[in-house]
Amino acid sequence: MSTQLELARRGEITSLMQEVAQDEGVSPEFVMAGIAQGKIVIPNNINRRAKAVGIGKGLKTKVNASIGTSSDIVNLEMELEKARVAEQYGADTLMELSTGGDLDMIRQRVLKEINLPVGNVPLYQAAIYSIREYGSVVKMKEDFIFEVMEKQLQDGLSFMAVHCGINTITLERLRKQGYRHGGMVSRGGAFMTAWMTHNEKENPLYSRFDRVVELFKKYDAVLSLGNGMRAGAIHDSTDRAQIQELIINSELAKQAQDEGVQVIVEGPGHIPIDEIEANVILQKRLSNEAPFYMLGPITTDVAPGYDHITAAIGAALSSAYGADFICYVTPPEHLALPYPEDVKEGVTSARIAAHIGDMVKYKHRDRDLAMGHARRELDWEKQFALAITSEKARAIHEERKPADPGTCTMCGEYCALKIVNELFPGCNK
């Protein structure tokens, strides 16, 4: 069976490509060409037909929401509710990142609950189940990683973040630079670093990368090359360890693409805003413009409880500079496991950021122009229909009703628009 990438290279337009083209307002040939060049991907799996979502150059910036249990909180019904909320409020994809409870059962239930492409990090389950059985991640068996990966692909995951770029060279860079101000914050990166250091062996996801490629090709899923060396503090952004991993991941992306596997390259987590453009340029240049999955980025370290805002600032700039895929951040980031309301806030913030970025990247401003006209005309129903945040906008307006239903309680009878519109009858553009 041929993969989407192989079919695109043969000039064949699939139903997935057609659906993406219709959703994006571009031609199927444009989508096919982007996939053939490795610049667009469609996360899917031969075992599960998910919603067709295109990610990459020339397409709208997409938003991922992440959910999952922890070792402290295992509540399946809440995770299913979070998955539904993510889909309801406009997430394009979902990552199921549980680390507590029956991981196979949780993943399978989430896959049945929603229609979005679902991804995860297979190293989590391999490491956690090894800890449960042997008492330590360093006793994890190499083959077990690949067994877990195939089991998860069999279940129908559309994409996976696989930590292939952490190898002996990357760790050498980390040691020689004297570790980090914010430590290592990638859970997958920490698991693999501990395993490699204790066993004095190369990362099997790197040394046996051909096996990774074989599995993804078998199920026609998207390989997202994970960012285990992402910065967890802005003072670690764009350091040598991060860039070394990016170089390796870019090389691996080319290898996987040559074998017919669609690839995403992931980006760093905490970045001051003056380094965002450089990070996007580096990733795009080194990876031959593979879709860039930006994790956040969080743009200051001192706003816990509001990191959905610090990340939205970074995501808007990332999108504007060329990032294709944004991983949302919720208010409890760095503090606690998100609840359903946090998922709603995270998805909404990231969608706003993606829209702002696309306004710059593609000059997509028609919706904003229509909103300007609706506000000028005091057309509240049209304003609510155009808003990304329509539910909240309507609720606030109706909770604080004005005496004059044509205005709002901010200005009331002294509404500037109402006063001036009367002076320019028939003159509106």
User: Is there a contact between 245 and 192 (Cβ–Cβ < 8 Å)?
Assistant: no
Name the percent of the chain lying above pLDDT 70.
Answer: 99
- Residue 155 in tokens: 């279940």
Q: What is the DSSP string of 370-400?
A: HHHHHHHTT-HHHHHHH-TTHHHHHHHHHHT
Helix (H) or strand (E) holding 157: none
Whole-number Å distance between alpha carbons of 401 and 226: 49
According to DSSP H, which parts of 322-379 are helical? 340-361, 366-376
pLDDT tens, residue by residue, 122-174: 999 999 999 999 999 999 999 999 999 999 999 999 999 999 999 999 999 99
pLDDT tens, residue by residue, 307-350: 999 999 999 999 999 999 999 999 999 999 999 999 999 999 99
The pair phi, psi for residue 327, each rounded to 5°, is -95, 120
- In the prediction, which pLDDT does 232 show? 95
Q: Which domains does the chain have, with CATH numbers?
A: 60-361 (3.20.20.540), 366-421 (no CATH)
Q: What is the pTM of this model?
A: 0.96
Q: Which residue has the higher pLDDT, 268 or 316?
A: 316
